[in-house]
Amino acid sequence: MSMSLLQVLIGGLLLGAVYALFSSGLTLIWGMMNVVNFAHGDFVMIAMYVAFMVWKLFGGGPFLAMPIAAMLLATLGIIAYFSLVRHVMKGPMLAQILGTFGLALLLRYGMFWTFGANFQSLPENLVGGTYDLWGIRIQASRLLAGTLAIVLTITLHLMLTRTSLGSKMLAVAEDSTAAQLMGIRPDRMQAIAWGLAAGLTGIAGALIATFFYISPTVGETLAIIAFVTVSLGGFGSITGALVAGLLIGVIESLSGYLIGAVYKDIVVYTIFIAVLWFRPQGLMGKN
């Protein structure tokens, strides 16, 4: 019993780290320019298909798929910024929402068209296998995803707070007119933010693909968690997304195990609403 509980906790933490990883891109874009990217989940979905193709064409695992997916997705993010986001940002809030939502549908149905509705899956042994530590089973693919998630989130946080590029990006986020007067080009910074965020979804997708199914609608399933993670952690807070992701992963696993799978969403969303009731800015968001 206690052994199972430990297994549940570890499973929950690893799951939570992955939630954090695919949420960090969403929170970055929100923090940078107050745009909610509804296509976020579908970016992750595209990255999962990239990982699938990398395996299919070259037999490569996540270490080959990650850089390729990151580069492709970063390019996609920058294209999306210049061709769509930059224009809809000038419009009303509704235009931004519908703009990125339209992008989400375009990507989703584009994949339906290209790959069909079928579910795909990478072979189970692509990453390591499973470690057995005194009866606790840890899947190598989830361990890799979880560890990289934490490392990447911290790196992103340090980049934003400790480097000159990060300061410039935050300056644009705070007051883009003032930043422009200081010689920073907001357009360029925001394009970089989109590229960075989309690149992160590329890495996230390539990692998730090693232990999840791949289908054109998988982004829809994942996006809901990303939104909950980001608002619980505090919109715009990278470390908040990490804490919230881990928290949700553990709560979900524990309540699913102790109370029952159908009730886990009730527990997660009750806590979610309670936190937002007392702290509308989220756990680590600024007022």
Stretch that binds another protein, among 69-77, 132-140, 147-155, 161-169 (CB under 8 A): 132-140
For residue 63, what are its two tokens?
């270490």
Residue number, 198 or 250, with CB nearest to another protein: 250
Binding flag, residue 273, another protein (CB under 8 A) = no
Residue 42 binds to another protein (criterion: CB under 8 A): no
What is the residue type of 53?
A: M
The residue within the footprint of another protein, chosen from 72, 79, 82, 112 (CB under 8 A), is: 112
Q: The tokens of 173 are what? A: 């986020």
Q: By CB under 8 A, tell whether 4 contacts another protein.
A: yes
* Alpha helices in the chain, H assignment, sequence order: 2-33, 40-58, 62-80, 86-88, 93-115, 140-162, 164-174, 176-181, 186-208, 218-233, 238-258, 264-278
- Measured from the CB of residue 256, what is the shortest distance to another protein in angstroms? 3
Rounded Cα–Cα distance for residues 33 and 190 (Å): 7
Is residue 201 a contact residue for another protein (CB under 8 A)?
no
User: Closer CB to another protein, residue 58 or residue 109?
Assistant: 109
Three-state SS at 118: coil
Subset of 52-111 contacting another protein (CB under 8 A)? 109
Chain-centroid distance of CA 149 in Å reads 10
User: Does 225 contact another protein by CB under 8 A?
Assistant: yes
Q: Which is nearer to another protein, 8 or 71 (CB)?
A: 8
* CA nearest to 231, candidates 248, 219, 215, 214: 248
* Binding map of another protein across residues 15-34, x = CB under 8 A, - = no contact: x-------------------
CA distance 67 to 253: 31
Tell which one of 58, 63, 213, 269 touches another protein (CB under 8 A). Answer: 213
For 198, residues 6+ apart whose C-beta sits below 8 A from its C-beta are 25, 43, 73, 74, 76, 77, 78, 80
| Shortest separation between residue 167's beta carbon and another protein, angstroms | 36
In the complex with another protein, which residue's Cβ is closer, 176 or 215? Answer: 215
- Which of residues 58, 63, 95, 121 is near another protein by CB under 8 A? 121
Judged on CB neighbours under 10 Å (0-12, 13-18, 19+), 178 is exposed
Which tokens sit at 177?
């007119």
Q: Which of 58, 63, 83, 124 binds another protein (CB under 8 A)?
A: 124
Site string for another protein, 136-165 (x = CB under 8 A): -x-x--x-----------------------
Is residue 179 exposed (0-12), middle (13-18) or buried (19+ Cβ within 10 Å)?
Answer: buried
Residue type, 261: A
Chosen residue from 59, 221, 269, 280 binding another protein by CB under 8 A: 221
Q: How far is the CB of 94 from another protein (least distance, A)?
A: 23
Contacting positions for another protein (CB under 8 A):
1, 4, 7-8, 11-12, 15, 109, 112, 116-121, 123-124, 130, 132, 137, 139, 142, 211-213, 215-218, 221-222, 225, 252-257, 260-262, 264-265
